[in-house]
RNA sequence: GGCCCCAUCGUCUAGCGGUUAGGACAUCGGCCUCUCACGCCGGUAACGCGGGUUCGAUUCCCGCUGGGGUCGCCA
């Protein structure tokens, strides 16, 4: 049977970076095995779920380049893929569990249980409240609101073999009679996930380690329903730099935030995949390569801390390498950030010519847009501090002379230009620096830029000479 | 507290009984240089502790310590 993997987000916010990692591992395994990747929306909590979140999550998936074979928008043979539309299915199986003696209706109110919980806490702050089983053996059926609870076995233990953690055994006595269905009739996570994973023929459930404790409960449900559990794989946690749970307080945690900051999607994926997984010493991977190399054998068990610097470096690596980010892709990705700066229609030829010069300088597309700015603005924005430091009247006058000298210069390529300017400078007893730095201010408006002669080539002869001749005007600008 | 899990440089990790314990990021020093970068060279830096098993443990076992997860009518 072809492997069927799934990612099942609850649409109560953006796609979290940790969630993206879980999804990625599932996606990679599905791709590499010729299997199916399913997206299922766990929206049984009506209070917290929203359609905006669904859209945000799907957008994040699209941006990351993780496509789903079944799920929202694309449908599939196991539809519907929204749990809120599957209530009838859950109800049917819950009835079966009740009549089979594996579940029961509990009429204890939340208020009542909360009160008991508090009382216990008051007497003994360390104690943990456990549902006392009040309705466990109840035979009457009062006309009152109720929840459905699982009738946990009191003896024995539940075990499973995790693809990452190996054998895990939990005594059943540690399990209380957890709730399956809420008063409002909506199923709870453990119930809905279990039923759907089975009905959707999921073969491997891969999720973060914080679900490891749910697994025995879910296995108990599978058994109660007479089903065989799928395989399980739990991933170590991605923690904040400080070592606690990753949350909004620490760093950028939503996928869209990384997009908005100008990081390349493949770089984001590359960083998170290396989190808990490795392939020898290799650090940088393209997406296709990941599909080929990913396997569960090299997934770690220990949690890790998110590192912004390492993250930035991995992303940068993707920006630098043309084999990972081809020129045209780079151009497309930087456009929105140029647009943010008001440069909505940058000359396409100039853009493509300029990118090689900035791609090893810009750590994000946002930085790239900033670095590229001067190519598309006439005159370029002037950094007056750079001007004050590097350009004076004598220097400006020299640049005009240089422009005149270069007017007849052929060919207009970097090597020839450099040779010409060096010769020109030497003839005047000037170090190249004394000409290049003022020229940089005139040509780019800044103190830092790609190599001067490359800038001149991208700018073209006409614009380069015009900018050099404008140098004296800059002094009073 | 119950249950479950984890443990190699500051961080992500390689290692699957015998290695000068490797790589990457970060950091420090240097080189390159028209600026900023990139790149290159080099340095500092780790097997938590205690017992076993073994000719030999980072590696296997046990305990301790430390860390994390989870104990909801959230997922």
Place of tokens 């730099």: A241
pLDDT attached to residue A120? 81
| Nearest residue for B69, CA–C1' | A210
Distant-in-sequence, close-in-space partners of A215: CB < 8 Å, separation ≥ 6: A160, A162, A168, A232, A234
The dihedrals phi and psi of A34, each to the nearest 5 degrees, come to 65, 30
Pairing status of strand A103-106 against strand A147-150: antiparallel
Nucleotide B42 C1' to residue A313 CA (A): 22
Q: Which helix (H) or strand (E) holds A289?
A: helix A287-293
Give the C-alpha separation, A158 to A172, whole Å: 6
pLDDT attached to residue A114? 86
A419: Cβ under 7 Å from strand B?
no
Q: Which helix (H) or strand (E) holds A349?
A: helix A348-358
Of A248, A163, A172, A171, the residue nearest A209 (C-alpha): A163
For the CA atoms of chain A, what is the radius of gyration? Answer: 31
A301: Cβ under 7 Å from strand B?
yes
A251: Cβ under 7 Å from strand B?
no
A244: Cβ under 7 Å from strand B?
yes
pLDDT attached to residue A249? 53
Catalytic residue among A110, A121, A248, A389: A248
pTM given for the model: 0.95
A283: Cβ under 7 Å from strand B?
yes
ipTM of the complex: 0.96
Nucleotide B51 C1' to residue A101 CA (A): 49
The dihedrals phi and psi of A149, each to the nearest 5 degrees, come to -110, 150
Nucleotide B56 C1' to residue A282 CA (A): 31
pLDDT attached to residue A470? 98
Integer distance in angstroms from the first to the last C-alpha of chain A? 72
What is the arrangement of strands in the sheet containing A179-181, beginning at the earlier edge strand? A103-106, A147-150, A179-181
Distant-in-sequence, close-in-space partners of A151: CB < 8 Å, separation ≥ 6: A101, A102, A103, A104, A136, A177
pLDDT attached to residue A118? 82
| Nearest residue for B36, CA–C1' | A448
Nucleotide B28 C1' to residue A35 CA (A): 49
What is chain A's pLDDT, residue by residue, as a tens digit (477 residues)? 799 999 999 999 999 999 999 999 999 999 999 999 999 999 999 889 999 999 999 999 999 999 999 999 999 999 999 999 999 999 999 999 999 999 999 999 988 888 888 888 777 777 788 898 999 999 899 999 999 999 999 999 999 999 999 999 999 999 999 999 999 999 999 999 999 999 999 999 999 999 999 999 999 999 999 999 999 999 999 998 888 887 655 556 899 999 999 999 999 999 999 999 999 999 999 999 999 999 999 999 999 999 999 999 999 999 999 999 999 999 999 999 999 999 999 999 999 999 999 999 999 999 999 999 999 999 999 999 999 999 999 999 999 999 999 999 989 999 999 999 999 999 999 999 999 999 999 999 999 999 999 999 999 999 999 999 999 999 998
| Active-site annotation holds for A366 | no
One-character DSSP codes across A221-264: HHHHTT----EEEEEPPEE-TTSSB--TTTS--BHHHHHHHT--
**Contact indicator for A446, A440 with CB cutoff of 8 Å:** yes
Nucleotides on chain B that have an atom closer than 7 A to a protein CB are: 1-8, 10-15, 22-26, 34-39, 67-75
């Amino acid at each position: 049977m072809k492997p069927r993997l799934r990612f099942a987000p609850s649409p109560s916010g953006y796609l979290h970076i940790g969630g993206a990692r879980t999804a990625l591992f599932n996606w990679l395994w599905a791709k590499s095995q010729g299997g199916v990747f399913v997206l299922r929306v766990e929206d049984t909590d009506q209070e917290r779920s929203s359609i905006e979140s669904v859209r945000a999550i799907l957008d994040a998936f699209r941006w990351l380049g993780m496509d789903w074979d079944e799920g929202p928008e694309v449908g599939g043979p196991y539809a519907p893929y929204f749990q809120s539309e599957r209530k009838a299915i859950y109800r049917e199986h819950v009835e079966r569990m009740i009549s089979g003696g594996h579940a029961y209706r509990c009429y204890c109110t939340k208020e009542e249980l909360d009160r008991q919980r508090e009382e216990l806490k008051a007497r003994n702050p360390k104690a943990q409240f456990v549902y006392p089983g009040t309705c466990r053996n109840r035979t009457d059926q009062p006309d009152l609101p109720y929840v459905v609870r699982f009738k946990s076995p009191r003896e024995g233990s539940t075990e499973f073999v995790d693809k990452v953690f190996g054998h895990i055994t939990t005594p059943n006595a540690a399990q209380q009679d957890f709730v399956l269905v809420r008063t409002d009739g909506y199923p709870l996570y453990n119930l809905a996930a279990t039923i759907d994973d089975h009905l959707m023929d999921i073969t491997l459930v891969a999720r973060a380690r914080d679900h490891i404790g749910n697994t025995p409960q879910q296995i108990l449900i599978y058994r109660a329903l007479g089903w065989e559990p799928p395989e399980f794989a739990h991933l170590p946690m991605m923690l904040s730099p400080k070592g606690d749970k990753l949350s909004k307080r620490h760093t950028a945690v939503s996928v869209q935030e990384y997009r908005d900051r100008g990081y390349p999607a493949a770089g984001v994926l590359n960083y998170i995949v290396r989190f808990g997984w490795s392939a020898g010493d290799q650090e940088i991977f393209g997406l296709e390569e990941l599909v080929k190399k990913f396997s569960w054998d090299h997934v770690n068990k220990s949690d890790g801390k998110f590192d912004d610097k390492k993250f930035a470096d991995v992303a940068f690596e993707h920006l630098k390498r043309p084999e990972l980010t081809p020129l045209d892709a780079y151009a497309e990705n930087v456009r929105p950030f140029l647009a943010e700066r008001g440069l909505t229609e940058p000359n396409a030829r100039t853009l493509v010519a300029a990118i090689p010069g900035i791609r090893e300088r810009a750590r994000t597309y946002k930085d790239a847009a900033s670095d590229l700015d001067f190519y598309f603005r006439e005159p370029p924005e002037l950094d007056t501090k750079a001007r004050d430091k590097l350009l004076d009247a004598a220097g400006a006058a020299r640049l005009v002379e240089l422009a005149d000298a270069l007017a007849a210069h052929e060919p207009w390529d970097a090597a020839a230009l450099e040779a010409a300017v060096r010769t020109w400078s030497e003839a005047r007893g000037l170090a190249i620096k004394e000409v290049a730095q003022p020229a940089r201010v005139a040509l780019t408006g800044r103190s830092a830029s790609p190599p001067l002669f490359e800038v001149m080539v991208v700018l073209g002869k006409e614009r380069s000479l015009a900018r050099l001749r404008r140098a004296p005007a800059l002094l009073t600008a």
